[in-house]
Amino acid sequence: MIIFSDNEDALECDNSIKNLRAQLNLESNYEFHFSESSKKAKEKFFNLISTFNFFYLTITINKANLYGEGFKYPKSFYKYTCNLVFENAKPYINNATVIIDGSGSRKFKLELQSYLKKKINEKDSIKIKKVKIQQSHKNNLLQLADMVCGAITYSIKGKKDNNKYRRMISHREIYCQFWPKYNN
């Protein structure tokens, strides 16, 4: 989860990611994905975004180590995962507009919005005002979330320089959990 406390900071970051494509001679519709981006693109991307005023929380789930009936149902698993992230984000969000990557049906979007608001909003504090589902290829800040999650996941793999990108943004990290525990 990426958190901007100021909408202006989010817009500035969004525009800078857009401009980075031109600097890297990439197509204007190029989508930043950690697993598909070159080392040069990753370095430029993380150098750029590290200067913006945002924070992130992540929960990296090792699907291979999950067991139990509930994990066999994608919608239930998705809601459960969202709940884990948002419970940890509660102290950092207030009256938030949440944008989630996806192309789910209108029904699922409404179910998810209702679920999150019911679970996360408090009697005297509206933590989530609105939930939107957008496609990442149309939203630079969803691509930012993908790149951050990719850097975190990459950091737990036993490869040379595996922590490089995470270190570049470590000053933006609020919370990072690996569940269930990874065994390298």
Q: What would the DSSP string read from start to end of 91-116?
A: GG-SSEEEEEE----HHHHHHHHHHH
Q: Using alpha carbons, select from 79, 24, 72, 75 the residue that is nearest to residue 46.
A: 24
Q: Using alpha carbons, select from 51, 143, 79 the residue that is nearest to residue 151.
A: 143
Structure confidence at residue 3 (pLDDT): 98
**Angstrom distance (rounded) from CA 60 to CA 157:** 12
- Counting Cβ atoms within 10 Å, is residue 64 exposed (0-12), middle (13-18) or buried (19+)? exposed
- CA distances, 120 to each of 83, 91, 129 (Å): 8, 11, 11
Structure confidence at residue 182 (pLDDT): 61
> Tens-of-pLDDT digits for all 184 residues of the chain?
999 999 999 999 999 999 999 999 999 999 999 999 999 999 999 999 999 999 999 998 888 788 777 777 888 888 888 889 999 999 999 999 999 998 667 788 888 889 999 999 999 999 999 998 899 999 999 999 999 999 999 998 877 778 999 999 999 999 999 887 766 5
Structure confidence at residue 184 (pLDDT): 55
Domain boundaries in the chain?
A: 2-179
**Angstrom distance (rounded) from CA 15 to CA 137:** 14
Structure confidence at residue 75 (pLDDT): 80
Structure confidence at residue 86 (pLDDT): 95
